[in-house]
Amino acid sequence: MSSYSDTLTPAQAAWPLCGRYASAVEYGDDYLLPPPDPAQRLSTLSATDHRRLDLYAALTVRGIAPLPGDQHAVESISSLGDEVMNAVLRWVTNTTNC
């Protein structure tokens, strides 16, 4: 019968196996990536896209799953402007469950 101490490898003995991956600079076959530039990584959304995402989020929170054919309607409503969008969001978020 073997105990756990018989199957464990001491850290000092395992380090040479892991050392190549832990210090890749030492071997010269790997390099560190520069940190990402937020200006390149994040794109700004247009006002229409922002309103569209807000409408999808409001419908999802209310438990209303948009059907595949609703995409055109959501895009049309989103392109109408902030006043229309605020009214639609107010209607969606203030409705009560009957």
pTM: 0.53
3-state secondary structure the chain: CCCHHHHCCCHHHHHHHHHHHHCHHHHCCCCCCCCCCHHHHCCCCCHHHHHHHHHHHHHHHCCCCCCHHHHHHHHHHHCCCHHHHHHHHHHHHHCCCC
- Confidence at residue 17, expressed as pLDDT on a 0 to 100 scale: 53
Q: What is the pLDDT of residue 35?
A: 80
23-32 burial code (b ≥16 CB/10 A, e <16)? eeeeeeeeee
Confidence category of residue 79, pLDDT binned at 50, 70, 90:
very high
- Whole-number average pLDDT of the chain: 75
pLDDT in tens, 23-58: 544 545 666 777 877 777 666 788 899 999 999 999
For residue 90, pLDDT over 60 is answered with yes
Section 58-83 average pLDDT: 89
pLDDT value at residue 25: 46
Q: Higher confidence at residue 1 or residue 9? A: 9
